[in-house]
Chains A and B, each alone.
Chain A
Amino acid sequence: MLRFVLRRLALMVPVLVGLSILLFAWVRALPGDPARSLLGEKATPEGIARVRELYGFDEPLLTQYFLYVKALLSGDFGDSIKTGQPVVESFFDRFPATLELGITALMIAVVVGVPLGYLAARHQGSPIDTAVVSTSLLGVVTPVFFLAILLKLVFADWLGWLPTTGRQDARINATHITDFYVLDGILTREWDAAWDAVLHLVLPALALATIPLAIIVRITRASVAEVVNEDYVRTAESKGLSSAVISRRHILRNALLPVVTTIGLQAGLLFSGAVLTETVFAFNGVGQYLFDAIGSRDYPVLQGYILFIAIIYALINLAVDVSYGVIDPRVRVS
């Protein structure tokens, strides 16, 4: 197992090198000039030239790439052009927000999605099944940003039930230990702060959860539907095992493999959903910062953030592969 993990980690190196080249090229292929974006209406030709010089944009591309890689190897991801904040620092300032949002969304998707999919599969053709299948289809095709705006419009703008922006009310002087605001509120017993953070999480997490939820429902349904028709399930039934044991030990466990793969993939995809959700709810996570950086062509931020996200994505996939062995001994790697 350790060898497998190490080999997979080693494989990440060429992937990341390739990605750094692609990213570097892609970011510079974007139309527009970060220097002009930075100076706005006040830009003069000399001003722009000076900024370009300061950030090394006047060097040949190849030189720029090697300087970038050299800095990367010494752990320097550069500073944001727009704010001057080091890229790594800004990422980890905002990552807890995105992680809190992502975990909540994924929890909603799994906790609701797996039982729903199971239920639908066990009652194939029933009205429950039809309702679940058609609702999940709607969930898959609804774009995240649309749903985010809709949820905000209904629950925040019209009904006024929930807050619309940010992660916590600005008037609350909460203590932050982990920067996961809900957890912090619980750890410090500042219940007010925790509750406020929960309220702020509800809408963005629901918006972000919808697509993974719908996909998990559909995959679980399909997978369970296939397993229930297997011979070993019929054998178990004829042996007179209780239906709870059959469900847990024979159906769910076997049906879970594709579901876990899907959860892993969806966890990675949550980042792209987070860019939109965070922007709509001014959630101030990694996604919103990345969105702003695209607008201002903030090269170091774009390069750094996407590289970090790629690493995280690769690690999640690795975790999924490892978890196969736990769920299904047949694919356990030696």
Chain B
Amino acid sequence: MNTRFKRGRALGTAALISAALVLSGCAESEREGGGGGDGEATGGTLVFAGAAEPVTLDPFFAQDGESFRVNRQIFEGLVGTKPGTADPAPLLAKSWETSEDGLTYDFTLETGVKFQDGTDFNAEAVCFNFDRWYNMPESAQSDALTYYYQKLFRGFATGEKADAAIYDSCTAEGEDKVTIKIKEPFAGFIPAMSLPAFSMQSPTALEKFQDDSKADPRTTEYSTGNPVGTGPFVFESWERGKQVTLSANDDYWGEKAKIDEIAFVAIADPKARATALENGEIDGFDLVGPADIQPLEDAGFQIVNRDAFNILYLGMNQKTKPLDDIRVRQAIAHAINKDEVVSASLPEGTPVATQFMPELVNGWTDEVPTYDFDPEKAKQLLAEAGAEGATIEFNYPTDVSRPYMPSPEDTFNVIRSQLEAVGLKVKPVADRWDPDYLDKIAGSANHGIHLLGWTGDYNDSDNFVGVFFGAENPEWGFKNEEIFSAVTEARGIPTAEEQTPFYEDLNVQIMEFLPGVPIAHPVPSLAFAPGVEGFQQSPVNDEVFNTVTIEE
């Protein structure tokens, strides 16, 4: 493995710095192979760049994509996903059965699996994890630490939300059978178990190194230096501010990793990530900026598109006139040419949206009313509403790139000119994303139409429409009891199959009411050096590097 920014030229640069000349002879020295692998592995070190460092290596307390990415290599949950989809698939659990009332889950576990520290993975270890989660001390019961657990299980053994908690019990039967009981049916339970937050962690390592009652359990001895799971990679080191290094787990129970080591580095700027790839400093990176895709492809790099599991929409705050008038909202929907928005500001291959969830999600339907691009109709609707030439505040964020919104300024500009073309006056209001924009949009009534979106965590309809329209919310500024109660009803149905018609109806209902205009499902892209093969994309980021190889 060699450093691939051009070494010969690097030597030339040496002339620039006389102080460095002393060392110049050393530049010729051979770089060692990454990690010294053996056996059937193709070997080598893969360097992968994300946008930030992981926050913690205890997946239970993680909720950012970067932590999840690293944790996913070390840990595994009971449930995984079918490659390339968001659908649940067996992982540490070979199979499961759900009782009719949706309150009991019987899991049959893989046998012969060991944690990386030699501890047996068995039914007892599963219950240890479930019980650990349920008994979290109150200091850890905030959304900043345990968002996913609270979202699923709604509360803990203690604390103010103890009464709402739906976890009942975990019973181990022998080595490989586990029964989980919950108090209220929850159709998203199995797909949610595929989240890295619900990974199985070694009871031995947790008891030795973890302290859940520490003021911030994300930075304990365990979560910064001794994470132990059953995954294909073993934790090696975390040099803060530099990289997290993992090595192949030689005793992995599944398909063993082909590379020796993987190093995760953080490069915040998408353009800088692209340059680092071109320069050979990294072998791959996530979240390619739309503008970098073509140049990277032209230069021979590989672009991998994830199937979109997100939604970008134009929200309309009904607390602001004239957006409370359905005709004005319809006019705005007809004024927008989504294809143009996609071609001008979103990655190639992005499908336009017709509703507030992507097609992969249960409940998506082609029965929803659509609002085709029709400027004349838009003008007519505005005239009917007496809102010709009305001024509308248009909020958009700056200094940010979200997976569902890679370049908000560009998206804003396209939609703005489309709205102006039907005679609306647009008053642009730009705010920095972090934290002003969200504060204003989601936390106050002080906004008009706005760009925002969402990336789904797991395959559950409620994880999309339930989040947006489950209750009154300052972002949308409306109170529609019919929709709210339809969300509550659908949520309480025990299985996904039975939920389908309810969510289909709900999607139709929402699109008739038109609280916002779903724009598109932008495809997030990753980029890899030409020699990297075998990466399997996942719409829910369930991506494990054990199948990846690198050419020397």
Contact = CB atoms under 8 A, between A and B. Distances in A.
Interface in B137-164: 139, 141-144, 147
Contacts of B218: 83-84
B281 interface: yes
Contact-residue bracket for chain B: 35 or more
Contact of A165 (B216, B272, B454): B272
B143 A50 contact: yes
A32 B133 CA distance: 32
A198 B242 contact: no
Contact of B10 (A82, A191, A199): A199
A81 B55 CA distance: 11
Given A37-B434, A82-B55, A195-B26, A161 B142 contact: no
B144 A38 contact: yes
Interface stretch (B27-35, B116-124, B486-494, B518-526): B27-35
Interface in B431-445: 432, 434-436, 438-439, 442-443
Interface string B10-27: 101100110110011111
Interface in A195-243: 195-196, 198-199, 202, 206
A160 to B, nearest CB: 5
B12 A161 contact: yes
Contacts of A292: 268
B438 A40 contact: yes
Max count, chain A CB within 10 A of own CB: residue among B13, B24, B25: B13
B138 to A, nearest CB: 10
A191 B20 CA distance: 12
Nearest to A284: B241
Given A165-B272, A170-B243, A191-B23, A39 B9 contact: no
B544 interface: no
A51 B143 contact: yes
B281 A169 contact: yes
A54 B5 contact: no
Nearest to B223: A84
A34 B142 contact: no
Contact of A94 (B17, B141, B241, B454): B241
A296 B434 contact: yes
Contact of A195 (B23, B147, B272, B452): B23
Nearest to B282: A170
Given A163-B5, A282-B268, A43 B55 contact: no
A44 B217 CA distance: 22
Given A170-B45, A282-B272, A84 B56 contact: yes
B465 to A, nearest CB: 15
B29 A79 contact: no
A115 interface: no
A93 interface: yes
Nearest to A39: B143
A163 B219 contact: no
B393 interface: no
A40 B400 CA distance: 12
Interface string B252-268: 00000000000101111
Nearest to A97: B241
Contacts of A297: 435
A194 interface: yes
A107 B144 contact: no
A156 B217 CA distance: 40
17 contacts: A36-B438, A43-B438, A43-B443, A48-B143, A50-B141, A79-B216, A84-B218, A93-B240, A107-B19, A157-B275, A160-B278, A166-B242, A166-B281, A172-B31, A191-B26, A279-B268, A282-B266
Interface of B: 1, 3, 5-6, 9-10, 12-13, 16-17, 19-20, 23-27, 29, 31-32, 34-35, 45, 47, 53, 55-56, 63, 139, 141-144, 147, 215-219, 239-243, 245, 263, 265-269, 272, 275-276, 278-279, 281-282, 399, 432, 434-436, 438-439, 442-443, 452-454
The 7 A-B pairs at the shortest CB distance, nearest first, are namely A191-B26, A37-B435, A47-B143, A84-B216, A84-B218, A284-B241, A32-B435
Interface of A: 31-48, 50-51, 53-54, 79, 81-86, 90, 93-94, 97, 107, 111, 152, 155-157, 159-173, 176, 191-192, 194-196, 198-199, 202, 206, 279-280, 282, 284-285, 289, 292, 295-297
